[in-house]
Every structure is written in C-alpha cells, then in structure tokens.
Amino acid sequence: MIFQFSAQNTFCINLDRRQDRWHRMQRIFNVLDIPVTRWKANTPSEVTDVIEGTPTQQACSQSHISLWRHIQEQKIEYALIFEDDVCIDFKWREKLQAFPAEVFHLILLTTDHWYGEPHTWQHTQSQSWSTAAYIVHRQAIELLLKFPYMPADRMTRTLQTNTQNKHCYSFFPYLAISIAADSDIEGSVSYVQKQVTQLETVAYALSNYCGISP
C-alpha cells in the first residue's frame, strides 16, 4: 500500500507550555522531511467531554478525541499522529511502504510490547497500548467515537479487542519509540526501558532512530 502524507493529514500533539518538546519534534520532522501540523494539546481545564481517568489523562485523551473529530469532519481518509515525546526510525517510510494490507483501521508505529517475528508486519495483540505514534483510518474513528471515553490508548485497545485485531497492525523493531520518562500525564506508565530492552533482543540499535541524543 502506498501512503501519502502531508500537513493536512499529519499531526503532532503538543501542549503550549511544552515548546521545548515541539522544537525537538520540529528538528526530527525536518531531518526526516515529514510535513506536519502542530495540534494544540488540551489542558485539564479545557476538557469538554466526559472522560474516565485522572485530570491529565482526561486532557490527553481530549486532545486525541478532538483531533479525531477534526479528521472526521474534514473527511481525511487516514492520518498520521505523533505525540511530542517520540523518536522516529530513519527508515520508517521504507518499512511502511511494505505494509501488506489494502484495508486497515489502526497502525501502531510503537507499542508497549511485541509478539511475533521481528522485521515483519503483524496483527496487533489486544493488549497493545500506545498512542505515541499511530496511523488511524477515518472508518476506525467512527468506531472510536462511539466507545466510552477513557484514556486514548485504552480506546485504541478497545478498538483492537472489538475487531479481534483484524485491521490493526504493528511492526517490530518499532517505527517509533517513546523517549520521555517524565510524562506530563498523571498516572501514566513509561515504557522507555521496556522498549529499549526489546530492541536489544534483536540487536536493533537506538542509533536507528532520529532524535536519540548522542
């Protein structure tokens, strides 16, 4: 499948007060030639939907939900979404263009764990968590917005469970990895060391990712 990305369907969610993270992501996007639109992240005081979770979890989820609605309203077929604490594989495009399916709902560029053979595309497991970097189809958004509102990674997990992962995919070594152990989200769990350990099992160096500090 041939993916086409532009500033109209590529977004990075970022809090106004975290300009440091936005500037870091801009450097990554410039190196990798990724056109992107900054999407203003919500704060707890800006949450408008009834969402399960802590105030900061609600705010993070509101950011994704509001973006999903924008994608739906603008009739964007699919969108590439990043949070502002990831590093991206230098060869992410090459690997993504080898994506084997013509139909998808969700493609997780990073997850909290991996099952299956390395260097292959696989259906996700129902336990896969992460909205740090993903591609979502508008058809999936129609389903997501019908679920009870909760932390966004749990909503994507519910999507996987409800569809038996039929149209949900991921790749290992990950096309992106989380790098921030100091999350702004109360109650969040860092998967940084877990991902690093998993990459070490297949001798995939962190130097393969743009944004890793020397």
pLDDT digits (tens, 9 = 90+) for 30-71: 999 999 999 999 999 999 999 999 999 999 999 999 999 999
pLDDT tens column, 82-126: 999 999 999 999 999 999 988 999 999 998 877 778 999 998 876
CATH number at residue 77: 3.90.550.10
Q: Is the pTM of this model over 0.85?
A: yes
In total, how many domains does the chain have?
Answer: 1
Domain assignment present for 172: yes
Q: What is the extent of the structural domain holding 110?
A: 10-210
Whether the CB-CB separation of 169 and 107 falls below 8 Å is answered with yes
Domain assignment present for 64: yes
Domain assignment present for 174: yes
Domain assignment present for 2: no
Residue 186 has pLDDT above 70, yes or no: no
Domain assignment present for 149: yes
Domain assignment present for 3: no
